[in-house]
Amino acid sequence: MERTLVFIKPDGVHRRAVGKILQRFEDKGLKLIGLKLAQLSNELVNRHYAEHTGKPFFESLVQFVLAGPVVLIALEGPEAIAVVRKLVGATSGLEAAPGTIRGDFSVSKSFNLIHASDGPESAAAELSRFFTDEELVDWTPTDWGWLGVGAK
């Protein structure tokens, strides 16, 4: 079982696509363990995107993510990190496959609606960056036993 961090960027919130995007994760069978709307601080966004510092798109990326509230989502499920990345699609909405979130909602490299952790280390770091331990709720969906979720 893995946990991963996703956030819907301000373009998704402004376009009132939050419900549709959350639906994709619920439909897939992932478990919601954390959820909140937040206006991120400049310091937090700079820390989150530190690896992109100095790239040509860095300043506009930071301004974009600060342009309105984001929806922070923590998810759990079997191989959740890779499963979520597949649902989200390629970084650029121009290249993302139809059926993925970015493929269905974006025609831009920058305004791509959603961020998702790209591996176990970033998932752990990003979950603790955006959620306290108390905000992450441990629970067991009733259908997981029936569906053999987590079974090999």
In 3D space, the residue among 147, 138, 145 whose CA is nearest the CA of residue 74 turns out to be: 138
Which entry of 14, 48, 52, 115 is annotated as an active-site residue? 115
Output 52 or 86, the one with its CB closest to ligand CMP: 52
Q: Which residues bind ligand CMP (CB under 6 A)?
A: 52, 57, 61, 91, 109-110, 112, 115
The residue (of 57 and 97) whose beta carbon lies closer to ligand CMP is 57
CA distances 112 to 13, 15, 116, 151, Å, are 12, 12, 11, 33
Structure tokens at 136: 């992450």
How, if at all, do strands 70-77 and 2-8 pair? antiparallel
DSSP state at residue 75 = E
Q: How far is the CB of 118 from ligand CMP (least distance, A)?
A: 8
Q: Measured from the CB of residue 16, what is the shortest distance to ligand CMP in angstroms?
A: 20
Task: Assess whether 115 carries a catalytic annotation.
Answer: yes
Closer to ligand CMP by Cβ: residue 46 or 91: 91
- Report the catalytic residues: 115
